[in-house]
Amino acid sequence: MAIIFVRTIIIFVVIVAALKLMGKRQLGELELSELVVAVLISDMAALPLEDIGIPLLNGLVPVITLLCCELLISYGSLKSIKFRKLMWGKPSLLIDNGKIVQQELKANRFSLDELTESLRKKDITDISTVRYAILETDGTLNTVLYQSEQPVTVSMMNIKLPEKGIPIAVISDGRILKDNLRRLGKDEKWLSKELKGRNNINVKDVYYMTLDDAENIYFAAKESGMKAKQSLPGDK
C-alpha cells in the first residue's frame, strides 16, 4: 500500500509538471500532437500503478520522452513557418465575401450542418450576413460580418466614454492582496481609509473588494459578519 501511495504522488507531480510545461490550453484548444501526447502520458503513467511489478521508471521515462518530443515540436513550430504549417496546417476560409467555399469544406471534411451549427452558436442564422468565416487550426470558427450587419458601437456614434480598466481584487475572503494593491499604486493606509468609510468594517469581514484604473470600487461584505452589500459603479 505504501508503495502505491508513493508512486501515485511521484507520478502525479511528474504529470502536472509535464502538462504545465506544455502550456496552458483548454482541452478543446489542444493541437493534434498535444492531444496525442496527453493521451499517451495518461496511459503510460498508469502502468506502474496498475502493476507494482513494473518498475516506476518504466512509467516515468516514456512520460519524459513524450514531453521532450512535444517541446521540440513546439520549438520547431515557433522557429519555422513551414514546419508549423506541416504540423498544424493553416486556417481555411469557409465563407468568402458571403459565398460558401465548397472546396474548402470538402478539404476539411466540414459539413454544411457543422458550418450552420457553428454559426448559430455565434447567434448568426443568416449566412448572407457573413463576409468571412475562417476555420482555425484548432477547429474553432471565427467570423467577420458585413459592416452593415455589425452591431452599433460607441465609436460609431462619436460618443467618448472614460476607460474603466480591469477590476483587480484588493481583498479576497478577508485577506489583503498586497501585490495587487502595489500594482494599483495604493497601500494599506488607503485601504483602511476606504474601510472606515464603510462603517469602519474590519478587513476580516470583507468577502470581496476590487478596484479598477478609474477608481471604481466593488465591495461585498461577508454574510456572516453583516448583510452583503455592493457599491454602485463610480462609488469611491
Confidence of residue 225 (pLDDT cuts 50, 70, 90): very low
Sequence-distant (6+) residues with CB within 8 A of 208 are 169, 171, 172, 173, 218, 219, 220
Q: Can you give the length of the chain in residues?
A: 236
What is the pLDDT at residue 22?
74
Q: Which CATH superfamily is domain 92-149 in?
A: bsu07140 like domains (3.30.240.20)
Q: What is the mean pLDDT of residues 6-11?
A: 87
Judged on CB neighbours under 10 Å (0-12, 13-18, 19+), 121 is exposed
Q: How far apart are CA 99 and CA 22, in angstroms?
A: 38
pLDDT greater at residue 1 or residue 183:
183
Percent of the chain with pLDDT over 70: 90
- Find the Cα–Cα–Cα–Cα dihedral 117, 122, 127, 133, rounded to 10°: -100
**Coil, helix or strand for 88?**
helix
Q: How far is CA 192 from CA 115, 176, 196, 201, 213, in A?
A: 55, 11, 6, 9, 19
Q: Where in the chain is the domain with CATH 3.30.240.20?
A: 92-149, 168-221
Q: CB of 37 within 8 A of CB of 15?
A: no
Inform me whether the pLDDT recorded for 24 exceeds 80. no
Sequence-distant (6+) residues with CB within 8 A of 164 are 212, 213, 214, 216
Q: How far is CA 69 from CA 21, 23, 35, in A?
A: 12, 14, 13
What is the pLDDT at residue 37?
82
What would the CATH number be for the domain defined by 168-221?
Answer: 3.30.240.20
Sequence-distant (6+) residues with CB within 8 A of 161 are 154
The model's pLDDT over 119-139, given as tens digits with 9 standing for 90+, comes to: 999 999 999 999 999 999 878
What is the pLDDT at residue 226?
46
pTM comes to: 0.61
The model's pLDDT over 95-108, given as tens digits with 9 standing for 90+, comes to: 999 999 999 999 99
Inform me whether the pLDDT recorded for 5 exceeds 60. yes
Residue appearing with cell numbers 495518461 = 42
What is the pLDDT at residue 34?
75
Q: How far apart are CA 200 and CA 225, in angstroms?
A: 13
The model's pLDDT over 81-91, given as tens digits with 9 standing for 90+, comes to: 888 888 878 89
